[in-house]
Amino acid sequence: MDRRIRVLALFLLCCFVLLVAQLGNLQVRQAAALKSSPYEPTTHADPYTGQRGEILSADGFVLAKSVKQAGGGYQRVYPQGPLFADITGYVNQVNSNISTGLEDEYGNPFGTSAKSQYLLVHEYPAHGLRGLLNQRQGTDTITTTVTRKLQLVAQQALGSYSGALVALDPRNGNILAMYSNPSYDPTKLSSSDAKAVTAYFNSLNPNSGSSPLVNGVTYNRQAPGSTFKLVTTAAIFDRDPSLASTVWPPIPYTKLPNTTSLLHNYASEVCGGNLAQILEKSCDTAFGLIGLKLGPVNLAGEANAFGFNQQPPIDLPSGEVSASVFPPASSYSANDPFLAYSAIGQYNVQETPLEDALIAGAMGQGGTMMAPHLLSHVVDDQGTIVETYQPRVWLHATSSTTAGSVLNLMLGVAKTGTAAGVFPSSLNVAAKTGTAETGSNACSADWIVATAPAGPGQTPTVAVAGYLPFQAGLSCSETGAQAAGPRVAQLLEAALAQQAATK
């Protein structure tokens, strides 16, 4: 017994000696080095002027980094300029100490979760006695799911036009590209020059809904036009299957109940037929009548099942993500003529491009809508992966039978319908166009969604949505296929090629 006590006493004495030695080491030998360390909390405690971790693209490009300044502190810079502004956001160091985008989601000093501290200087968990004696601080690096290559495709596809493009992998929710015009340079909002920051911020018209500071993919909502007919079509199969076999009369317009107003087809064309034919031609009269027959409870219920009136759980600050809107069933009266317009994605239906891409993607995934996300993985300052994003389901929007039926109808839209000729036939694209007549003088706001490959036995791996409001340079009569179609096609083809190259 005495021998064991002596051994224990000797062990405790050694531990005490080591502790005293380490304290002396930290307080004397390493004092000067620690005082000047970027991780020293008393000199660089401010998360807006101190060092922050890097943000990287999936293909290894630096999207955000901290550069040490001669006068002390750090300057946050964004080497890709406006290309990733919607994604990274920015850190305002001098005016209001705010952060946006991923900078805020993963580098918010007021956040309570571990993920909100990744980009900030923080203490790493100690492991074992050595870890206790050598407690270290550092910042993590976050790698995103987006690639510079696809971002450039999206940017170049939009060119000088205002609009938004988003591509995602519907199998896991990975955002592959997300870009909207107009954009801005985050570095100019992260400068230490307060006067320059203020001038640049004000030049971006920050109080306008069309400001470059507003995320055009996740926040801006517009009437989706006929792309919403995908939801209306799903509602037929889910809530009133008898309508799937109805043949609708070929007419240029239809009279709506309780009003003298007429619902016209686009350009007053004559259209009708079975469900496949009316979706291919995007026949407003038929879908307006379908909406009235479905009724507000069925149509609103289907919209909610697909994520309307819910904020998509993408990893961006909640203030930068909008819930798409479909009015509650209670807002419609019996035989309400406005329900016909809601069924074709107009009246007061509002949708984000992100939601539109998620709907198209769900049709190729058996009705399952995966949570969209930008984070791929997190690496600590020693190069060790500390977190890898795990895909998760957001919604089971509809049955696999319904999703498969709608996807098959979307193939017809791309082959012989309103999107014919937009995509190469070899890609087996399923698509839906939208031409919402909501602009000035009833000029159109143009949409298109697509997912591929969607042929027999294939599982789509890319879903894309594109939106262009009516603006100078576009014809008032241009459709979703004409205005948004070529841009979505460019991004879809590039995303599929990138996936093929990395197999």
Measured between alpha carbons, how far is 39 from 121 in angstroms, rounded to an integer? 6
pLDDT of residue 113 exceeding 90, the answer is no
Give tens-digit pLDDT for 399-420.
Answer: 999 999 999 999 999 999 999 9
Tell me, what's the pLDDT at 13? 62
Residue pLDDT, tens place only, 3-22: 666 655 566 666 665 655 55
> In this structure, what DSSP letter does residue 122 have?
E
Task: Give every CB contact of residue 58 below 8 A, 6+ residues apart in sequence.
Answer: 143, 144, 145, 146, 147, 376
Using DSSP's 3-state secondary structure scheme, residue 55 falls into strand
The predicted pLDDT at position 45 comes to: 47
Burial class (CB in 10 A: 0-12, 13-18, 19+), 377: middle
- What average pLDDT does the structure give for the chain? 89
* pLDDT tier for residue 40 given thresholds of 50, 70 and 90: very low
Domains of the chain and CATH, by start = 225-373+391-501 (3.40.710.10)
Is pTM beyond 0.85? Reply is yes
Instruction: Report whether pLDDT(452) > 50.
Output: yes
CB 495 within 8 A of CB 176: yes
Q: Name the pairing type of β-strands 55-56 and 141-144.
A: parallel
Q: What pLDDT does 39 receive?
A: 44
